[in-house]
Every structure is written in structure tokens, then in C-alpha cells.
Amino acid sequence: MKAAAFAITAILLLGACATTTSPTGRRQVVGGVSQQQLDQLGAQAFAETKAKETVNRDARQNAYVQCVVNALVAQLPSQYHGVRWETAVFVDKEPNAFALPGGKVGVNTGIFSVARNQDQLAAVIGHEIGHVISRHHEERITKQMGASGLLQVASVLAGAAYGESAASTVSQLGGMGAQTMFLLPGSRTQESEADVVGQRLMAQAGFDPSQAVNLWQNMMAASGNRSPQWLSTHPDPANRIRELQRDVPALMPVFQQARQAERVPRCG
């Protein structure tokens, strides 16, 4: 009975999901949570981060980050025009940044050591906003919910047939397999997609898209022989630099059109 109940739950969960297309044309499975729930989760995570970390009170740096964010989000699709984007700068040497559903952007002070001008900072923040507008958070939550539901079914079936220890083993091994074979590869796909979306967004906002290449070169030079925490699930750094370089020629006309339209950010 328990196995049947879990199976029905998993089927209903997966049936509630929807297939959509990302900004780059990639097929996505979403729908595990509503936009309102996503926004609430984003706001909660942002509040918890501000409570846990030291918030930088430097007015100049905060204005700098907000200026770059404002220039980028002005070019977002219409469904984001009503979002009030909130930013925070955290005192942390790790070169890191994030963006969350609901219009939240966080930047560590360490990012200024590698993002050495406004265009390079736009490359960082554009990448992170790219995750939001590509619905990556929703996609990952939906995948995790689906994987969790199916693992519960397998665990209960194993327990019914072979006992509690078998159920525990299936659950543990299944979790490891999902993380290694299912969830993490999706994360690397999302990171590559966020590069594409973010680089285009910065060009549309009037930031030089070629500076995205310089940003990642700076990031790798600063990290030495190890990948910084921010890049732990990202594509191979050399490959991503080549891909960013590959896209620059196609984005330069977008950048030039933005400048002709007087989209010329002056953030610092």
C-alpha cells in the first residue's frame, strides 16, 4: 500500500511539471514550484544571507553595484519590468556573486579584485541574472523534487521486498547516483547557458561583451591552480573562455546598437 501511494505521488508530481524552452532554445522541465513560491524562497535566502554575512556599508561600492544591476535589468523581458531589484554587497574575499528569483543580487567584495571595470562586473552580474531569467532555479528544484519522489518509491519497494536495510541502501545509493549522474550535469549545462544569456544581456545594456573574456581570464589567474568556489560546478574554464570569445563577434553589433541608442552605462 505504501509503495502504491508513493508511486501515485511521484506520478502526480511529474505530471504537474511542464515542458518549456529556455532563452537559448533548450528544452526544460519546470513547474515544480510556482513563481510566487520561487520569489518567496529567493527573498528568504537573501534575508538569511544578509543576517549571516557582514554587509558592506561602503556607499560608493553599493551604488556601483546597483548602477550595473539597473542597467542590466532595464533590458530584461517585459515580465520582469515590475520587479524591484535589491542588491547587497558582502564583506568577503571570495570572488563570488549570485542572483535569486524575486529580484535579489548579492556581490562579495572579493569580486572587485577580478572584475576590474564596470563591463567586467556586468559580465559577472549578467551571468547570475541569466540564471534567473532562464528559470534555472525552478528547473533545478523541479528535477530535485522528481528525483526525490522516484527515490522514495524505489526505497519503499526495496524495503517491502528485502527489509529496512535494503530500503536505506537504495535510498543512499540512489541519492548519490542522482547527484552525480542527473543533477550536477544539469548544473553545468545551466552555467554554460547563463554565460550565453548574460553576455548577450550585457551587450544589450551597453557593456562591452568582449570584457566577459577578460573577466574569466582574471578569475582563473587569481585562483592559481585551483578553481574558485564560484566555479566548482561550472564548465572547464578554458572551454568557457573559448566559447565567450566565439560569441563576441556576433554580439559586437548588439553592443554598438545599444551605444547608438544612448545606452551608455556610467557606473564607475
Tell me, yes or no, whether 110 lies in a domain: yes
Q: Is 19 helix (H, G, I), strand (E, B) or coil?
A: strand
Residue ranges making up the domain that contains 147: 2-260
Tell me, yes or no, whether 233 lies in a domain: yes
Size of the chain in residues = 268
| pLDDT per position as a tens digit, 127-142 | 999 999 998 888 887 7
Residue holding cell 578554458?
A: 238
Tell me, yes or no, whether 266 lies in a domain: no
Q: What is the pLDDT of residue 238?
A: 80
pTM of the model: 0.79
User: CA–CA distance from 39 to each of 42, 48, 89, 132, 219 (Å)?
Assistant: 5, 14, 20, 11, 30
Tell me, yes or no, whether 182 lies in a domain: yes
| pLDDT per position as a tens digit, 197-248 | 999 999 999 999 999 999 999 988 887 655 544 445 566 778 889 999 999 9
Tell me, yes or no, whether 220 lies in a domain: yes
Where on the phi/psi map is residue 217: left (φ > 0), alpha (ψ -120 to 50), or beta? alpha
List the catalytic residue out of 48, 53, 128, 193: 128
Tell me, yes or no, whether 268 lies in a domain: no
- Among this protein's residues, is 128 annotated catalytic? yes
Cβ contact 211:260 at 8 Å? no
User: For the chain, what is the domain count?
Assistant: 1
- Helix (H) or strand (E) holding 88, with range, is strand 86-90
Cβ contact 24:196 at 8 Å? yes
